[in-house]
Structure 1
Amino acid sequence: MESSNGDGDLSKALLPQGGVNKDDQKSTSELATKVWIETKKLWQIVGPAIFSRIASFSMNIITQAFAGHLGDVQLASISIANTVIVGFNFGLLLGMASALETLCGQAFGAKRYQVLGIYMQRSWIVLFLCCFLLLPVYVFASPILKWLGQPDDVAEETWVVAMWLLPLHFSFAFIFPLQRFLQSQLKNQVIAWVSLAALGINVFTSWLFVYALDFGVIGAAIALDVCWWFMVFALLWYVLYRCPLTWSGFSVEAFSGLWEFVKLSAASGVMLCLENWYYRILILMTGHLKNATLAVDALSICMTINGWEFMIPLAFLAATGSGSGSGWQAMVAYVNLGCYYVIGLPLGFLMGWVFKLSVKGIWGGMIFGGTAVQTVILAIITIYSDWDEEAEKARARLAKWSSPHPDDQPAEASQ
């Protein structure tokens, strides 16, 4: 029995011959081609960023490995100096420099190239002043560590190392803005090559100062100072002589609008610090478990492996990163505060002590209570954001910050 297809032609097939429509095949092929092209572009940006971050992270590990052959106290001192003293300031300064991801990224996209150099100079000034404000953490490292329960010999040796790491501390004020300045121009390969050279220098200087010259743990600190300042001067040379569009020399405009820049930088710093300090609190919590030495060692190894692995997704911020790119640093700081400290820490305590899961419970609280909830909340915010409105905010922000006196501009432009 024949069926009609609705137009009176009983002989015409109801379904097209050949299965899938050719137009659909063409559309699918074009989509696959576009996805492949975008993927290659993404990895051209992300690949060098991954390498540079892994190289920078590895320098501390290599130096600690050299110091580990000197003795338990020496290893503990360089480890605590790196993870607690330097780590405390590192997170804050790195977060404050992330304000350039918003400002430089938007300015470069709008082809306002000249203001990128002014933004970077403002960041240098703000971060350099912040380095002075953070000096008490280094100067009073010994009493602080003793108050936290560290043995006297470890605390005093850590103070010596911390004082020798002061040049490293001040290098952060310059290296972080330089990296964000170049990253916003998609010059990640330059950062990667400099990081590779610094990694090689770090291996050599660690051997030279620790073993050959027998400087001991102080030599380990000097090795870190040398390689980080090498990166500063190498990237600065590239900016001065290879970035004619975005660098037009030092300008007095860099000293205007510093308070507005401080507020945006502080929001970025808090956003990262709330996450960075959370992991250090977990280690302190682990120290109160049964078999604390074994538990702390296990968690420290997990943190180190997680830190290396974390460099990969962190590098994707060079190509994406809606929070920093849209200037959501303050909002993300509130999300981090709630997820890590209101949910993650109590859940870790509950699983670790009440359910007697020990270090596994603390780690589980971090994953399920902190990271997972944070990811869901930020994903929802990103999905339901009005990106046309965000684009208008970016234009207003760019107009404000590219003016000679940004402090006199309307407040809504900075939101």
Structure 2
Amino acid sequence: MWLVWGVQAFGAGAGQVYLLGVYMQRSWIILWITCIILLPIYIFATPILKLLGQEDDVSDIAGKFTILIIPQLFSLAINFPASKFLQAQSKVSVLAWIGFVAVIIHVVLLWLFIYVFDWGLTGAAIAFDITSWEIAVAQVVYVTGWCKEGWTGLSWLAFKEIWAFVRLSLASAVMLCLEIWYMMSIIILTGHLDNAVVAVGSLSICMNINGWEAMLFFGINAAISVRVSNELGLGHPRAAKYCVYVTVFQSLLMGIFFMVVILITKDYFAVIFTSSETLQRAVARLAFLLGVTMVLNSVQPGLPLEVGGKQLVAYINLGSYYVFGLPLGYLLGYKANFGVTHEDGTIVEYRVWNPKNSMLSAAIHCDVVRDIWMKPGAHVLYVMYSSGTTLSHVSDIVGPTGLVYVVESPHRRAKELIEMSHWRKNIIPITGKDATDPACYRMMIGGLMDVVFSDVLKLNQNEDGTKVEYRIWNPYRSKIASAILGGVDDIWITGMVYAVEFSHRSGRDLINMASKRTNIVPIVDDARHPTKYRMLVGMVDVIFSDVAQPDQVFLIFQT
């Protein structure tokens, strides 16, 4: 992005407009090669994220999305040099119209792919690719068709002194990459906190708001870069200096204005991103820091780039972000345990207690258990805690006056348990003991327990040794589940199930299921003609159809 700003604008200011086309072509070549070099990171994003310690679900989704937006990566190699080519000639209105049309097309494509075609994340990625290439193609068409002064056609001069051009841009690239990688590193560090869902969510909302403001200052950055380079190209260094003063003062006023807007609307602006009240409160408590950040970012228009200060800014970014910023963030987040805070300043965590990942949460969520007997001050024996999410909630429930004795034998889990007990003082870890043999750790537990809880599911966990499964019955995918959730008292279903399926693929799945569930009798036949399979079925108590058909009522009546 920073590759050709100063060079192109300097050439325009010096009257060598024809060189702009050469610089743009040279930038295309360099950036396309750069995209090819970066391609493995996009392709192997999933294992890279897992290697960095991100959760598998997040890594898999992010990796899939990254692969889908590879075409968008290559569009940037065309987009950025072309946009700077036009900015260097003060043809900003063209870029604005192209961007405006692209936004409209993008919104339509998102609605079409996500809501109409129901493509989900894949649809969002495809819309992103199409819009990005639409912008790049539109810019190239305008450049080749209406910029005769700067564009004289393809030239072999683009390959001349290409390495010198690369060296010129390296400092700028390092400077900008250090800043962007710092932001991504903060997100990765936040993803490892115990309150990761709300922490990452609230931080992402603040970074999005900050990013919106940054887009405005990127525009100012582009404008002042072109103006300063033009003045220097014309031999007017004093005019370039006053441009710097005016821009810094203007940017500071804008930053103060945005900070005031954020502070006034701190309890409301998060509604744009989320309907979660917990997340909205967390964002509101970060509003002051967000406002200060917006002011500080506003006075960084990047002007040293045009006066040979790229290496200086790169060193400043390296020291500020990586020598000071990241270590400080790690210490505050992990050692000082500075999570999201209450209004009174006390540390508090907000976490999503997912019923799909916690048996205790599922029991409470589904109203299976009326009383979990875990109250403030209770003593809980927690056997094989599996993951720290449920344990942290149990720790919060019993409070500082309660105790949670946790038995864990695997070494990796034991290490995590000990680390958690350092800052959750009501957790007493019992490690290196066999959780299935209470006699080996009974002397380490002080007195009688109010609750004994095991968080690890065993298939033979029934007292009689029979296997049992626990599954989420999603009411959004099952008519019976939605009927029960909606208040149907009795579904009259017990005993044997005769299942009729006509599709070969679904019939194969049905037969495979019937081999494991002996109370299912599979019938692969056309359900519209019950006379064909009537001799296979005796008198039944309930007839249920799970597929919506226009003539479903008649089908049920006939059956």
| TM-score class, shorter | 0.5 to 0.7
In structure 2, C-alpha distance between the alignment counterparts of 1:157 and 1:290, rounded to whole Å: 21
- Number of residues of Structure 1 aligned to a counterpart in Structure 2: 264
Equivalence for 1:247: 151
Task: Kindly indicate whether residue 100 of structure 2 is the aligned counterpart of residue 199 of structure 1.
Answer: no
Trace 1:14-413 onto structure 2 (pairs within 5 A).
Answer: 94=1, 98-321=2-225, 322-353=303-334, 355-358=336-339
Work out which of the two has the higher radius of gyration on C-alpha atoms and give 1 or 2.
Answer: 2
Cα distance per residue 1:207-235 (max 9 Å; x no partner): 12222233332111110011110101111
Q: What amino acid does structure 2 have at the position aligned with 1:344?
A: G
More strand by share: 2
Cα distance per residue 1:58-85 (max 9 Å; x no partner): xxxxxxxxxxxxxxxxxxxxxxxxxxxx
Return the TM-score normalized by structure 1.
Answer: 0.60
In structure 2, C-alpha distance between the alignment counterparts of 1:309 and 1:135, rounded to whole Å: 30
In structure 1, C-alpha distance between the alignment counterparts of 2:318 and 2:80, rounded to whole Å: 24
In structure 2, C-alpha distance between the alignment counterparts of 1:161 and 1:317, rounded to whole Å: 30
In structure 2, C-alpha distance between the alignment counterparts of 1:351 and 1:164, rounded to whole Å: 36
In structure 1, C-alpha distance between the alignment counterparts of 2:60 and 2:328, rounded to whole Å: 35
In structure 2, C-alpha distance between the alignment counterparts of 1:104 and 1:284, rounded to whole Å: 36
In structure 2, C-alpha distance between the alignment counterparts of 1:101 and 1:329, rounded to whole Å: 12
Q: Is the 8 A contact 2:54 2:191 kept in 1?
A: no
Q: Is the 8 A contact 2:54 2:192 kept in 1?
A: no
More helix by share: 1
User: What secondary structure sits across from 2:119 in the alignment?
Assistant: coil
Q: What amino acid does structure 1 have at the position aligned with 2:212?
A: W
User: What secondary structure sits across from 1:149 in the alignment?
Assistant: coil
- Consecutive unaligned residues of structure 2, counting only runs of 5 or more, are 226-302, 342-559
In structure 2, C-alpha distance between the alignment counterparts of 1:345 and 1:136, rounded to whole Å: 26
Q: What amino acid does structure 2 have at the position aligned with 1:137?
A: I
Deviation at 1:326, TM superposition (A): 2.2
Equivalence for 1:32: none
In structure 2, C-alpha distance between the alignment counterparts of 1:215 and 1:314, rounded to whole Å: 33
Of 109-118 and 336-345, more deviation after overlay is shown by 336-345
Return the TM-score normalized by structure 2.
Answer: 0.45
Deviation at 1:294, TM superposition (A): 1.8
User: What secondary structure sits across from 1:111 in the alignment?
Assistant: coil
Q: What amino acid does structure 1 have at the position aligned with 2:193?
A: L
User: What secondary structure sits across from 1:358 in the alignment?
Assistant: coil
Q: In structure 2, do the counterparts of structure 1 residues 115 and 155 end up closer, same or farther at CA, with 3 Å as the change threshold?
A: same
CA RMSD of the aligned region, Å? 1.8
In structure 2, C-alpha distance between the alignment counterparts of 1:357 and 1:174, rounded to whole Å: 43
User: What secondary structure sits across from 2:16 in the alignment?
Assistant: coil
Q: Is the 8 A contact 1:352 1:359 kept in 2?
A: no
In structure 2, C-alpha distance between the alignment counterparts of 1:268 and 1:308, rounded to whole Å: 22
Q: What amino acid does structure 2 have at the position aligned with 1:309?
A: E
Question: What fraction of aligned residue pairs are identical, expressed as a percent?
Answer: 47
Deviation at 1:350, TM superposition (A): 4.0
In structure 2, C-alpha distance between the alignment counterparts of 1:185 and 1:283, rounded to whole Å: 38
Cα distance per residue 1:163-219 (max 9 Å; x no partner): 221110110100010111111111111111100000000011111222223333211
Equivalence for 1:90: none
Deviation at 1:243, TM superposition (A): 0.9
In structure 1, C-alpha distance between the alignment counterparts of 2:340 and 2:84, rounded to whole Å: 36
Q: Is the 8 A contact 1:286 1:359 kept in 2?
A: no
Q: What amino acid does structure 1 have at the position aligned with 2:316?
A: V
In structure 2, C-alpha distance between the alignment counterparts of 1:166 and 1:189, rounded to whole Å: 29
In structure 2, C-alpha distance between the alignment counterparts of 1:347 and 1:146, rounded to whole Å: 24
Of 337-346 and 209-218, more deviation after overlay is shown by 209-218
Q: In structure 2, do the counterparts of structure 1 residues 351 and 145 end up closer, same or farther at CA, with 3 Å as the change threshold?
A: closer
In structure 2, C-alpha distance between the alignment counterparts of 1:295 and 1:165, rounded to whole Å: 26
Of 287-296 and 346-355, more deviation after overlay is shown by 346-355
Deviation at 1:237, TM superposition (A): 1.0
In structure 2, C-alpha distance between the alignment counterparts of 1:354 and 1:132, rounded to whole Å: 40
Deviation at 1:356, TM superposition (A): 4.4
Cα distance per residue 1:272-312 (max 9 Å; x no partner): 01011111111222233342322221111111111111222
In structure 2, C-alpha distance between the alignment counterparts of 1:341 and 1:166, rounded to whole Å: 28
In structure 2, C-alpha distance between the alignment counterparts of 1:222 and 1:336, rounded to whole Å: 34
Q: What amino acid does structure 1 have at the position aligned with 2:323?
A: V
User: What secondary structure sits across from 1:99 in the alignment?
Assistant: coil
User: What secondary structure sits across from 2:224 in the alignment?
Assistant: coil
Q: Is the 8 A contact 1:283 1:296 kept in 2?
A: yes
Q: What amino acid does structure 2 have at the position aligned with 1:248?
A: T
In structure 2, C-alpha distance between the alignment counterparts of 1:240 and 1:228, rounded to whole Å: 19
Q: Is the 8 A contact 1:299 1:359 kept in 2?
A: no
Q: In structure 2, do the counterparts of structure 1 residues 356 and 215 end up closer, same or farther at CA, with 3 Å as the change threshold?
A: closer
User: What secondary structure sits across from 1:150 in the alignment?
Assistant: coil
Q: What amino acid does structure 1 have at the position aligned with 2:320?
A: C
User: What secondary structure sits across from 1:127 in the alignment?
Assistant: helix
In structure 2, C-alpha distance between the alignment counterparts of 1:149 and 1:169, rounded to whole Å: 25
Q: In structure 2, do the counterparts of structure 1 residues 348 and 155 end up closer, same or farther at CA, with 3 Å as the change threshold?
A: closer
Q: Is the 8 A contact 1:268 1:330 kept in 2?
A: yes
Q: Is the 8 A contact 1:124 1:174 kept in 2?
A: yes
In structure 2, C-alpha distance between the alignment counterparts of 1:315 and 1:266, rounded to whole Å: 22
Q: What amino acid does structure 2 have at the position aligned with 1:146?
A: K
